Amino acid sequence: MHCGDVSARAIAPAGASRGSAEAVDRRDGGTRLGGMDVTEAVAAVNEEVRAVLLGVDVMDQGRADQLLDELDPSPTRERLGGNVTTAASLAVLHAAAALRGVPVWMQLGGGAPTALPRPEVQIIGGGAHAARTVDVQDFMIVPMSARNVDEALVQAAEVYLGVGTALKSRGRVNGVADEGGHWPEVDSHEEALALLVEGIERAGLIPGADVAISLDLAASELAEGEGYRLASEGLWLSRAEWLSRLEQWCTEFPIVALEDPFGEFDLEGLRAATELFGDSRLVIGDDAVVSSAERISEAAAAGRCNAALIKVNQAGTVTAAAEAVRAARDAGWSVIVSARSGETEDVSVAHLAVGWGADLIKVGSITRGERTAKWNELLRIAETLDVPLRPMPAGGQTSTRTNRG
Protein backbone atom coordinates (compact mmCIF):
# COMPACT_ATOMS: atom_id res chain seq x y z
CA MET A 1 0.00 0.00 0.00
CA HIS A 2 1.42 3.43 -0.99
CA CYS A 3 0.41 6.61 0.75
CA GLY A 4 2.27 9.82 0.14
CA ASP A 5 5.93 8.99 0.68
CA VAL A 6 5.31 5.87 2.70
CA SER A 7 4.49 2.35 1.67
CA ALA A 8 3.33 -0.44 3.94
CA ARG A 9 2.68 -4.16 3.65
CA ALA A 10 0.88 -6.80 5.64
CA ILE A 11 0.41 -10.54 5.21
CA ALA A 12 -2.66 -12.53 6.23
CA PRO A 13 -2.07 -15.74 8.20
CA ALA A 14 -4.06 -18.97 7.84
CA GLY A 15 -5.46 -21.46 10.33
CA ALA A 16 -5.54 -25.27 10.20
CA SER A 17 -8.23 -25.78 12.85
CA ARG A 18 -10.91 -23.24 12.09
CA GLY A 19 -14.26 -22.28 13.53
CA SER A 20 -17.11 -22.78 11.08
CA ALA A 21 -18.19 -19.13 11.38
CA GLU A 22 -14.82 -17.48 10.85
CA ALA A 23 -13.78 -15.57 7.70
CA VAL A 24 -12.63 -17.98 5.00
CA ASP A 25 -9.47 -17.66 2.94
CA ARG A 26 -9.71 -17.33 -0.81
CA ARG A 27 -7.66 -20.05 -2.53
CA ASP A 28 -7.38 -20.84 -6.23
CA GLY A 29 -8.32 -24.50 -5.98
CA GLY A 30 -7.30 -26.79 -8.84
CA THR A 31 -3.99 -28.62 -8.81
CA ARG A 32 -1.38 -25.84 -8.61
CA LEU A 33 0.19 -25.79 -5.12
CA GLY A 34 -2.35 -28.34 -4.04
CA GLY A 35 -5.14 -25.85 -4.68
CA MET A 36 -3.79 -23.51 -1.99
CA ASP A 37 -2.38 -20.86 -4.31
CA VAL A 38 -3.66 -17.31 -3.86
CA THR A 39 -3.25 -15.66 -7.28
CA GLU A 40 -6.95 -14.73 -7.32
CA ALA A 41 -6.69 -13.21 -3.84
CA VAL A 42 -3.64 -11.16 -4.85
CA ALA A 43 -5.47 -10.02 -7.99
CA ALA A 44 -8.45 -8.99 -5.84
CA VAL A 45 -6.17 -6.83 -3.68
CA ASN A 46 -4.54 -5.22 -6.72
CA GLU A 47 -7.79 -4.57 -8.56
CA GLU A 48 -11.04 -4.59 -6.59
CA VAL A 49 -9.61 -3.50 -3.24
CA ARG A 50 -7.25 -0.97 -4.79
CA ALA A 51 -10.16 0.62 -6.65
CA VAL A 52 -12.18 1.26 -3.48
CA LEU A 53 -9.30 2.21 -1.17
CA LEU A 54 -7.56 4.60 -3.55
CA GLY A 55 -7.89 8.11 -2.14
CA VAL A 56 -9.20 6.98 1.26
CA ASP A 57 -7.41 8.55 4.25
CA VAL A 58 -5.40 5.73 5.88
CA MET A 59 -5.87 7.49 9.23
CA ASP A 60 -9.52 6.50 8.96
CA GLN A 61 -9.22 2.74 9.59
CA GLY A 62 -12.96 2.52 10.23
CA ARG A 63 -13.82 3.95 6.82
CA ALA A 64 -11.30 1.74 5.01
CA ASP A 65 -12.67 -1.35 6.76
CA GLN A 66 -16.25 -0.28 6.05
CA LEU A 67 -15.40 -0.13 2.34
CA LEU A 68 -13.92 -3.63 2.57
CA ASP A 69 -17.10 -4.79 4.32
CA GLU A 70 -19.19 -3.30 1.53
CA LEU A 71 -17.19 -5.20 -1.08
CA ASP A 72 -18.27 -8.43 0.59
CA PRO A 73 -20.98 -8.07 3.24
CA SER A 74 -21.10 -11.83 3.99
CA PRO A 75 -19.96 -12.55 7.59
CA THR A 76 -17.46 -15.15 6.40
CA ARG A 77 -16.23 -12.98 3.51
CA GLU A 78 -16.60 -15.90 1.20
CA ARG A 79 -16.68 -13.97 -2.07
CA LEU A 80 -13.76 -11.58 -1.60
CA GLY A 81 -11.78 -13.76 0.83
CA GLY A 82 -10.84 -13.21 4.47
CA ASN A 83 -7.16 -13.28 3.49
CA VAL A 84 -7.85 -10.38 1.08
CA THR A 85 -9.65 -8.21 3.63
CA THR A 86 -7.23 -9.06 6.46
CA ALA A 87 -4.07 -8.21 4.52
CA ALA A 88 -5.62 -5.01 3.12
CA SER A 89 -6.95 -3.87 6.49
CA LEU A 90 -3.64 -4.51 8.28
CA ALA A 91 -1.75 -2.73 5.48
CA VAL A 92 -3.92 0.37 6.08
CA LEU A 93 -2.99 0.22 9.78
CA HIS A 94 0.73 -0.08 8.98
CA ALA A 95 0.52 2.76 6.44
CA ALA A 96 -1.16 5.06 8.95
CA ALA A 97 1.51 4.30 11.58
CA ALA A 98 4.29 4.87 9.03
CA LEU A 99 2.75 8.16 7.93
CA ARG A 100 2.61 9.41 11.51
CA GLY A 101 6.02 7.93 12.26
CA VAL A 102 4.72 5.98 15.25
CA PRO A 103 4.82 2.27 16.14
CA VAL A 104 1.85 0.27 14.91
CA TRP A 105 0.63 -0.45 18.46
CA MET A 106 0.32 3.29 19.07
CA GLN A 107 -1.84 3.73 15.98
CA LEU A 108 -4.49 1.51 17.59
CA GLY A 109 -5.37 4.40 19.87
CA GLY A 110 -5.28 2.71 23.26
CA GLY A 111 -2.85 5.25 24.74
CA ALA A 112 0.42 4.41 26.47
CA PRO A 113 0.34 0.85 27.83
CA THR A 114 0.91 0.44 31.54
CA ALA A 115 1.63 -3.26 31.12
CA LEU A 116 2.43 -5.74 28.35
CA PRO A 117 0.68 -9.00 27.41
CA ARG A 118 2.03 -12.11 29.09
CA PRO A 119 3.40 -14.70 26.63
CA GLU A 120 1.55 -18.01 26.28
CA VAL A 121 4.08 -20.30 24.61
CA GLN A 122 3.57 -23.65 22.92
CA ILE A 123 5.92 -26.39 24.10
CA ILE A 124 4.26 -29.45 22.55
CA GLY A 125 2.10 -29.46 19.42
CA GLY A 126 -0.62 -31.99 18.74
CA GLY A 127 -4.01 -32.31 17.08
CA ALA A 128 -4.32 -30.87 13.58
CA HIS A 129 -0.85 -29.34 13.95
CA ALA A 130 1.03 -32.62 14.41
CA ALA A 131 -0.82 -35.36 12.55
CA ARG A 132 -2.75 -36.11 15.75
CA THR A 133 0.01 -37.98 17.62
CA VAL A 134 -1.94 -36.62 20.57
CA ASP A 135 -5.45 -35.26 20.21
CA VAL A 136 -5.06 -32.08 22.23
CA GLN A 137 -3.76 -29.35 19.92
CA ASP A 138 -1.59 -27.03 22.00
CA PHE A 139 0.29 -27.86 25.18
CA MET A 140 1.46 -24.43 26.28
CA ILE A 141 3.02 -22.71 29.26
CA VAL A 142 2.42 -19.32 30.81
CA PRO A 143 5.30 -17.82 32.78
CA MET A 144 3.46 -16.64 35.91
CA SER A 145 6.20 -15.09 38.03
CA ALA A 146 8.14 -13.45 35.18
CA ARG A 147 8.01 -9.67 35.41
CA ASN A 148 8.98 -8.79 31.87
CA VAL A 149 8.95 -10.19 28.33
CA ASP A 150 12.65 -10.99 28.46
CA GLU A 151 12.36 -13.08 31.58
CA ALA A 152 9.19 -14.80 30.33
CA LEU A 153 10.78 -15.83 27.04
CA VAL A 154 13.96 -17.08 28.70
CA GLN A 155 11.81 -19.23 31.01
CA ALA A 156 9.80 -20.51 28.04
CA ALA A 157 12.99 -21.39 26.17
CA GLU A 158 14.40 -23.18 29.23
CA VAL A 159 11.19 -25.22 29.57
CA TYR A 160 11.28 -26.03 25.84
CA LEU A 161 14.85 -27.27 26.22
CA GLY A 162 13.92 -29.18 29.37
CA VAL A 163 11.08 -30.99 27.62
CA GLY A 164 13.38 -31.69 24.66
CA THR A 165 15.97 -33.26 26.96
CA ALA A 166 13.29 -35.37 28.64
CA LEU A 167 11.97 -36.55 25.27
CA LYS A 168 15.43 -37.34 23.92
CA SER A 169 16.30 -39.36 27.01
CA ARG A 170 13.24 -41.49 26.26
CA GLY A 171 13.96 -41.68 22.51
CA ARG A 172 10.62 -40.04 21.83
CA VAL A 173 11.21 -37.00 19.61
CA ASN A 174 9.42 -36.93 16.26
CA GLY A 175 10.35 -33.46 15.10
CA VAL A 176 8.80 -30.04 15.26
CA ALA A 177 5.05 -29.38 14.96
CA ASP A 178 3.36 -26.64 12.88
CA GLU A 179 3.84 -23.93 15.49
CA GLY A 180 7.36 -24.93 16.49
CA GLY A 181 6.56 -27.03 19.54
CA HIS A 182 7.98 -30.52 20.06
CA TRP A 183 6.13 -33.18 18.10
CA PRO A 184 6.40 -36.01 20.56
CA GLU A 185 5.72 -39.70 20.60
CA VAL A 186 3.64 -40.12 23.75
CA ASP A 187 1.29 -42.84 24.95
CA SER A 188 -1.25 -40.56 26.58
CA HIS A 189 -2.24 -36.98 27.21
CA GLU A 190 -1.20 -37.39 30.83
CA GLU A 191 2.30 -38.28 29.63
CA ALA A 192 2.45 -35.05 27.61
CA LEU A 193 1.27 -33.05 30.64
CA ALA A 194 3.82 -34.80 32.87
CA LEU A 195 6.53 -33.92 30.33
CA LEU A 196 5.61 -30.25 30.69
CA VAL A 197 5.93 -30.46 34.47
CA GLU A 198 9.26 -32.25 34.08
CA GLY A 199 10.45 -29.57 31.65
CA ILE A 200 9.49 -26.81 34.10
CA GLU A 201 11.36 -28.58 36.88
CA ARG A 202 14.40 -29.25 34.68
CA ALA A 203 14.46 -25.48 34.06
CA GLY A 204 14.77 -25.00 37.83
CA LEU A 205 11.31 -23.44 38.03
CA ILE A 206 8.32 -24.27 40.21
CA PRO A 207 5.33 -25.72 38.31
CA GLY A 208 2.29 -23.56 38.96
CA ALA A 209 4.07 -20.80 40.86
CA ASP A 210 6.70 -19.86 38.28
CA VAL A 211 5.32 -21.47 35.16
CA ALA A 212 1.83 -22.85 34.65
CA ILE A 213 0.25 -24.94 31.90
CA SER A 214 -2.40 -23.84 29.42
CA LEU A 215 -4.13 -26.07 26.89
CA ASP A 216 -5.89 -25.46 23.61
CA LEU A 217 -8.10 -28.53 23.45
CA ALA A 218 -9.46 -27.43 20.04
CA ALA A 219 -12.32 -29.74 20.89
CA SER A 220 -14.35 -28.97 17.76
CA GLU A 221 -11.79 -31.18 16.04
CA LEU A 222 -12.52 -34.03 18.48
CA ALA A 223 -16.32 -33.80 18.53
CA GLU A 224 -18.07 -36.96 17.40
CA GLY A 225 -21.76 -37.49 17.98
CA GLU A 226 -22.65 -36.44 21.51
CA GLY A 227 -19.06 -36.82 22.71
CA TYR A 228 -15.37 -36.55 21.97
CA ARG A 229 -13.00 -38.97 20.22
CA LEU A 230 -9.47 -39.27 21.60
CA ALA A 231 -8.15 -41.22 18.61
CA SER A 232 -4.60 -41.41 19.96
CA GLU A 233 -5.93 -43.33 22.96
CA GLY A 234 -8.61 -45.31 21.09
CA LEU A 235 -11.31 -43.72 23.25
CA TRP A 236 -14.70 -42.07 22.81
CA LEU A 237 -15.89 -40.06 25.80
CA SER A 238 -19.35 -38.67 26.49
CA ARG A 239 -19.61 -34.97 27.35
CA ALA A 240 -19.69 -35.81 31.07
CA GLU A 241 -16.72 -38.17 30.79
CA TRP A 242 -14.71 -35.58 28.83
CA LEU A 243 -15.52 -32.94 31.45
CA SER A 244 -14.36 -35.18 34.25
CA ARG A 245 -11.18 -36.01 32.31
CA LEU A 246 -10.48 -32.27 32.08
CA GLU A 247 -11.22 -31.91 35.77
CA GLN A 248 -8.80 -34.69 36.56
CA TRP A 249 -6.07 -32.97 34.50
CA CYS A 250 -6.76 -29.69 36.29
CA THR A 251 -6.46 -31.40 39.67
CA GLU A 252 -3.28 -33.22 38.84
CA PHE A 253 -1.47 -30.56 36.81
CA PRO A 254 -1.06 -26.78 37.28
CA ILE A 255 -3.38 -25.77 34.45
CA VAL A 256 -4.46 -22.11 34.31
CA ALA A 257 -6.29 -21.96 30.98
CA LEU A 258 -8.47 -24.20 28.83
CA GLU A 259 -9.16 -23.02 25.28
CA ASP A 260 -12.09 -24.50 23.34
CA PRO A 261 -12.61 -27.24 25.95
CA PHE A 262 -15.77 -28.29 24.13
CA GLY A 263 -16.76 -28.14 20.48
CA GLU A 264 -18.16 -24.92 19.03
CA PHE A 265 -21.66 -26.44 18.76
CA ASP A 266 -21.59 -28.02 22.22
CA LEU A 267 -23.07 -25.01 24.01
CA GLU A 268 -23.99 -27.10 27.02
CA GLY A 269 -20.43 -28.42 27.33
CA LEU A 270 -18.95 -24.92 27.09
CA ARG A 271 -21.35 -23.67 29.75
CA ALA A 272 -20.59 -26.60 32.04
CA ALA A 273 -16.82 -26.08 31.63
CA THR A 274 -17.19 -22.38 32.43
CA GLU A 275 -19.25 -23.17 35.52
CA LEU A 276 -16.72 -25.73 36.73
CA PHE A 277 -13.45 -23.98 35.89
CA GLY A 278 -14.35 -20.33 35.30
CA ASP A 279 -13.67 -19.04 38.83
CA SER A 280 -10.08 -20.21 38.89
CA ARG A 281 -9.07 -20.65 35.27
CA LEU A 282 -9.43 -18.99 31.91
CA VAL A 283 -12.01 -20.73 29.75
CA ILE A 284 -11.10 -19.34 26.37
CA GLY A 285 -13.39 -19.25 23.35
CA ASP A 286 -11.65 -19.56 19.97
CA ASP A 287 -13.72 -21.59 17.46
CA ALA A 288 -16.55 -21.00 19.90
CA VAL A 289 -16.67 -17.22 19.30
CA VAL A 290 -14.42 -16.64 16.23
CA SER A 291 -13.39 -13.07 17.17
CA SER A 292 -16.96 -11.87 16.62
CA ALA A 293 -18.32 -9.15 18.92
CA GLU A 294 -21.82 -10.52 18.53
CA ARG A 295 -20.86 -14.11 19.34
CA ILE A 296 -18.76 -13.03 22.31
CA SER A 297 -21.66 -11.02 23.81
CA GLU A 298 -24.04 -13.90 23.18
CA ALA A 299 -21.70 -16.47 24.77
CA ALA A 300 -21.07 -14.22 27.79
CA ALA A 301 -24.80 -13.74 28.36
CA ALA A 302 -25.27 -17.52 28.31
CA GLY A 303 -22.37 -18.19 30.73
CA ARG A 304 -20.07 -19.75 28.14
CA CYS A 305 -16.33 -18.90 28.45
CA ASN A 306 -14.67 -16.05 30.34
CA ALA A 307 -11.99 -15.11 27.82
CA ALA A 308 -11.76 -14.56 24.07
CA LEU A 309 -9.02 -15.54 21.67
CA ILE A 310 -8.74 -12.75 19.14
CA LYS A 311 -7.40 -13.48 15.67
CA VAL A 312 -7.72 -10.62 13.22
CA ASN A 313 -8.18 -12.96 10.26
CA GLN A 314 -11.17 -14.66 11.89
CA ALA A 315 -12.90 -11.29 11.90
CA GLY A 316 -11.44 -10.15 8.58
CA THR A 317 -10.61 -6.53 9.45
CA VAL A 318 -8.80 -4.63 12.20
CA THR A 319 -12.02 -2.77 13.04
CA ALA A 320 -14.11 -5.94 13.40
CA ALA A 321 -11.44 -7.56 15.58
CA ALA A 322 -11.20 -4.40 17.73
CA GLU A 323 -14.99 -4.56 18.21
CA ALA A 324 -14.57 -8.16 19.41
CA VAL A 325 -11.96 -7.01 21.93
CA ARG A 326 -14.38 -4.33 23.16
CA ALA A 327 -17.23 -6.83 23.46
CA ALA A 328 -14.99 -9.15 25.48
CA ARG A 329 -13.96 -6.35 27.84
CA ASP A 330 -17.59 -5.20 28.19
CA ALA A 331 -18.46 -8.75 29.25
CA GLY A 332 -15.66 -8.71 31.84
CA TRP A 333 -13.66 -11.27 29.85
CA SER A 334 -9.92 -11.62 29.49
CA VAL A 335 -8.37 -11.17 26.06
CA ILE A 336 -5.73 -13.28 24.34
CA VAL A 337 -4.46 -12.00 20.99
CA SER A 338 -3.31 -14.91 18.85
CA ALA A 339 -1.43 -15.78 15.69
CA ARG A 340 -2.44 -18.75 13.48
CA SER A 341 -0.83 -22.12 12.83
CA GLY A 342 -0.11 -20.97 9.27
CA GLU A 343 2.05 -17.89 9.76
CA THR A 344 4.54 -15.70 7.96
CA GLU A 345 7.17 -13.17 8.97
CA ASP A 346 4.42 -10.57 9.51
CA VAL A 347 4.66 -9.22 13.07
CA SER A 348 1.38 -7.28 13.28
CA VAL A 349 0.08 -9.59 16.02
CA ALA A 350 2.65 -8.27 18.53
CA HIS A 351 1.42 -4.72 17.93
CA LEU A 352 -2.25 -5.72 18.09
CA ALA A 353 -1.71 -7.48 21.43
CA VAL A 354 0.07 -4.44 22.90
CA GLY A 355 -2.22 -1.82 21.36
CA TRP A 356 -5.40 -3.60 22.40
CA GLY A 357 -4.09 -4.19 25.93
CA ALA A 358 -4.39 -7.99 25.72
CA ASP A 359 -3.80 -10.06 28.84
CA LEU A 360 -1.92 -12.75 26.95
CA ILE A 361 -0.27 -13.14 23.56
CA LYS A 362 -0.18 -16.53 21.84
CA VAL A 363 2.04 -16.99 18.79
CA GLY A 364 3.16 -20.62 19.04
CA SER A 365 6.52 -21.86 20.26
CA ILE A 366 9.94 -20.24 20.56
CA THR A 367 11.33 -22.03 17.49
CA ARG A 368 10.68 -21.43 13.75
CA GLY A 369 11.42 -18.01 12.31
CA GLU A 370 7.80 -16.96 11.83
CA ARG A 371 7.27 -17.44 15.61
CA THR A 372 10.53 -15.85 16.79
CA ALA A 373 9.81 -12.88 14.49
CA LYS A 374 6.77 -12.09 16.65
CA TRP A 375 8.49 -12.66 20.01
CA ASN A 376 11.40 -10.51 18.83
CA GLU A 377 8.98 -7.74 17.85
CA LEU A 378 7.41 -7.97 21.31
CA LEU A 379 10.91 -7.68 22.81
CA ARG A 380 11.59 -4.62 20.65
CA ILE A 381 8.32 -3.02 21.76
CA ALA A 382 9.19 -3.85 25.38
CA GLU A 383 12.57 -2.15 24.98
CA THR A 384 10.81 1.13 24.23
CA LEU A 385 8.32 0.85 27.11
CA ASP A 386 9.46 0.48 30.67
CA VAL A 387 6.39 -1.40 31.85
CA PRO A 388 5.90 -4.82 33.49
CA LEU A 389 3.92 -7.79 32.21
CA ARG A 390 0.22 -7.68 32.94
CA PRO A 391 -0.69 -9.78 36.00
CA MET A 392 -2.40 -13.06 35.17
CA PRO A 393 -6.15 -12.29 35.14
CA ALA A 394 -8.24 -13.44 38.10
CA GLY A 395 -9.86 -16.26 36.10
CA GLY A 396 -6.41 -17.63 35.45
CA GLN A 397 -5.12 -17.83 39.00
CA THR A 398 -5.34 -21.46 39.84
CA SER A 399 -4.75 -22.47 43.43
CA THR A 400 -3.47 -25.78 42.11
CA ARG A 401 0.31 -25.84 42.30
CA THR A 402 1.32 -29.37 41.58
CA ASN A 403 0.77 -32.71 43.17
CA ARG A 404 4.33 -33.58 42.45
CA GLY A 405 6.05 -31.93 45.35
Residues forming contacts to ligand 2PG in the complex (CB under 6 A) are 15-18, 138, 179, 216, 218, 286, 309, 338, 340-341
Taking the complex as a whole, the smallest distance from the CB of residue 136 to Mg ion amounts, in Å, to: 11
> 179 catalytic, yes or no?
yes
Residues 261-278 as b or e (16 or more Cβ within 10 Å = b)? bbbbebbebbbbbbebbb
Taking the complex as a whole, the smallest distance from the CB of residue 18 to ligand 2PG amounts, in Å, to: 6
Amino acid identity, residue 346?
A: D
> 311 catalytic, yes or no?
yes
Taking the complex as a whole, the smallest distance from the CB of residue 277 to Mg ion amounts, in Å, to: 16
Choose the catalytic residue: 221, 259, 311, 370. Answer: 311
Candidates 179, 210, 216, 264: give the one binding Mg ion (CB under 5 A): 216
106 or 121: whose CB is closer to ligand 2PG? 121
Instruction: Tell me the backbone φ, ψ of residue 397, rounded to 5 degrees.
Output: -110, 85
Alpha helices in 258-356 (DSSP H): 267-277, 293-301, 312-315, 318-330, 348-355
Choose the catalytic residue: 22, 120, 158, 179. Answer: 179
Number of C-beta neighbours around residue 131 at 10 A: 12
Residue pair 102/45 in contact (Cβ under 8 Å)? The answer is: no
Residue pair 152/146 in contact (Cβ under 8 Å)? The answer is: yes
Residue number of the CB closest to Mg ion reads 286
Taking the complex as a whole, the smallest distance from the CB of residue 199 to ligand 2PG amounts, in Å, to: 19
From the list Mg ion, ligand 2PG, none, partner contacted by residue 300 (C-beta under 5 to 8 A by kind): none
Distance (Å, whole) CA 220 – CA 263 = 4
Q: Which stretch binds Mg ion (CB under 5 A): 148-156, 210-218, 318-326, 328-336?
A: 210-218
Q: Is 286 in the site for Mg ion (CB under 5 A)?
A: yes
Distance (Å, whole) CA 316 – CA 24 = 9
367 or 402: whose CB is closer to ligand 2PG? 367
Positions marked catalytic: 179, 311
